[in-house]
């Protein structure tokens, strides 16, 4: 598990990027935490810098939108899902358990 930050350091509507390989973005969407691959599956852009609305994040470059719950794109130009990762809060600290790489980036 990778520690991300303290829970109070990620307020509602905010996101943080962790420099794993590949990088992961953690979101606080209306109080629920989600983690997905940070790089848009369409072209190189950081989803942690995207526009968060409910459970959807919009890529800051070409407005592809992803569902944080599934990693699935909800509109073009993205066609491939991004991976989702498990988020755990322990002792007030947000952790991410990265998904195994194989067979997830479909």
Partner 1 sequence: MRTVTVVGASLAGLYAARELRAQGFDGRLVIVGEEAHRPYDRPPLSKDFLTGRADEEQLALADPEEEAELDAEWLLGTRAQGLDARGRTLLLENGRTLVTDGLVIATGASARRLPGTDGLAGVHTLRTLDDARALRAALSGGGLRVVVIGSGFIGAETASSCASLGHEVTVVEAAPLPLLPQLGPEMAAVCAALHRRGGTELITGTGVARLHGQGSVTAVELADGRRLPADLVVVGIGAVPNTGWLAGSTLLLSDGVLCNDGCVTEHPQVVAVGDVARVGGLRAEHWTSATEQPAVAVRNLLAGRTVDSGRPLPYFWSDQYGARIQFAGRRREGDDVRVVEGSTAEGGFLCRYEREGRTTAVLAVDRPRPFMRARRELSSAQPPDRPLPFRPVRAESLAPVPEPG
Q: Which of 56, 61, 88, 105 binds partner 1 (CB under 8 A)?
A: 61
The token duo for 83 is 């991976």
Residue with tokens 């479909």: 106
HSE-CB at 79 with a 13 A cutoff on CA atoms is 0
Nearer to partner 1, 92 or 106 (CB): 106
| Piece of 2-10, 24-32, 74-82, 92-100 that binds partner 1 (CB under 8 A) | 74-82
The token duo for 73 is 């794109």
Residues making contact with partner 1 (CB under 8 A): 43-46, 49-51, 58, 60-62, 76-77, 79
């Amino acid at each position: 598990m990778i520690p991300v930050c303290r829970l109070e350091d990620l307020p509602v509507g905010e996101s943080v990027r962790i420099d794993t390989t590949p990088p992961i973005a953690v979101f606080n969407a209306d109080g629920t935490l989600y983690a997905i691959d940070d790089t848009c599956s369409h072209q190189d852009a950081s989803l942690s810098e995207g526009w968060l609305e409910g459970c959807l994040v919009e890529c800051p470059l070409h407005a592809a939108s992803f569902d944080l719950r599934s990693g699935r794109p909800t509109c073009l130009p993205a066609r491939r899902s991004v991976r989702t990762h498990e988020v755990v809060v322990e002792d007030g600290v947000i952790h991410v358990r990265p998904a195994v790489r194989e067979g997830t980036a479909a």
